[in-house]
Amino acid sequence: MADHQNIYLLLSAILFTIGCGGVLTRKNAIVVFLCIEIMLGAVNLVFITFSRANTSPEGIFMVMCVMAVAAAEAAVGLAIFVLLYRKTGSINIDKFNLLKW
């Protein structure tokens, strides 16, 4: 079991990188959002792995929190997308540079 640990860690690194790549390259806001979920999943996997390895419950608890945060994020994020789409007719993130002053 314990010797599988590196496989888990490697797997989560790969998943995280894939999600990250999606975030950096995709223009569709919802897809970007999905990629963030992949990253969160990868992180969860790491937490679980270490929790297992250390037999400490904090990791598991952290996973629960991440899930809750993901849910909250989904709710608010999707609401924002809906609003954006209503106002501008697009959710292509390259069309918004509101962060520029």
Partner 1 sequence: MEYALVLFCGIIAIATAIMVVVSRNTVHSALWMIGNCVIIAALFLLLHFPFIAILQVIVYAGAIMMFILYAIMMLNLRHSDDSADIAGNISMGRYLILALFFVGVVVLGIGFGPMALQGSMTEPAMMKFGEVELLANYIFSEGLIPFELVSVLLTAAIVGAIYLAKKD
Partner 2 sequence: MFDYVWLIPILPLVGVMTNGFFGRRIERSNKKLVHWIGCGTVGLAFLVTCLLFLKMLGLEPDKRLYDFTWFTWMASGDFSVAIGYQIDPLSMFMCMFVTGVGFLIHIYSIGYMWTDEGSYFRFFTYLNLFMFSMINLILADNFVLMFLGWEGVGLCSYLLIAFWFSDKANAVAGKKAFITNRVGDFFFAIGMLLLLVNLGKHGVWSLNFSDVFSHASLLSPGLITAICLLFFLGCTAKSAQIPLYIWLPDAMAGPTPVSALIHAATMVTAGVYFVARCNILFTMSPLAMQVVAVVGALTAFFAATMALTHNDIKKVLAYSTISQLGYMFLGLGVGAYAAGLFHVLTHSFFKALLFMCSGCVIHAMSGEQDMRYMGGLRKKMPITFYTMVIATLAIIGFPGFSGFFSKDEILWKAFSSPSGNSMLWLIGVLAAAMTAFYMFRLIFMTFFNECRASEEVKKHIHEAPKSMTFPLIVLAFLSIVGGLIGIPAALGGSNLVEHFLEPIMGLGAGKIFQDAAGTAVLHEAHAAAAHASYMTEYILMAITSTIVLAGVGLAYMMYMQKRTIPETLAQKFPVLYKLLLNKWYIDELYEWNVIKPLHSFSRFLWQVADVKIIDGFVNGTARFFMRCGGMLRNIQTGYVQRYAVTFVAGTVAVIVYYIFVLYI
Helix (H, G, I), strand (E, B) or coil at 51: helix
User: Which of 21, 27, 25, 23 shows the shortest CA–CA distance to 36?
Assistant: 23
User: Which of 32, 73, 66, 31 shows the shortest CA–CA distance to 46?
Assistant: 66
**Does residue 8 touch partner 1 according to CB under 8 A?**
yes
66-85 positions binding partner 1, by CB under 8 A: 67-76, 78-83, 85
* Distance, CA of 33 to CA of 66 (rounded, Å): 15
In the list 24, 57, 87, 89, the residue contacting partner 2 (rule: CB under 8 A) is 24
**Does residue 88 touch partner 1 according to CB under 8 A?**
no
Q: For residue 39, how far is the Cα from the chain centroid?
A: 4
**Does residue 55 touch partner 2 according to CB under 8 A?**
no
Q: Which does 43 bind (CB under 5 to 8 A by kind): partner 2, partner 1, none?
A: none
> What is the nearest approach in angstroms of partner 1 to the Cβ of residue 37?
6
**Does residue 98 touch partner 1 according to CB under 8 A?**
no
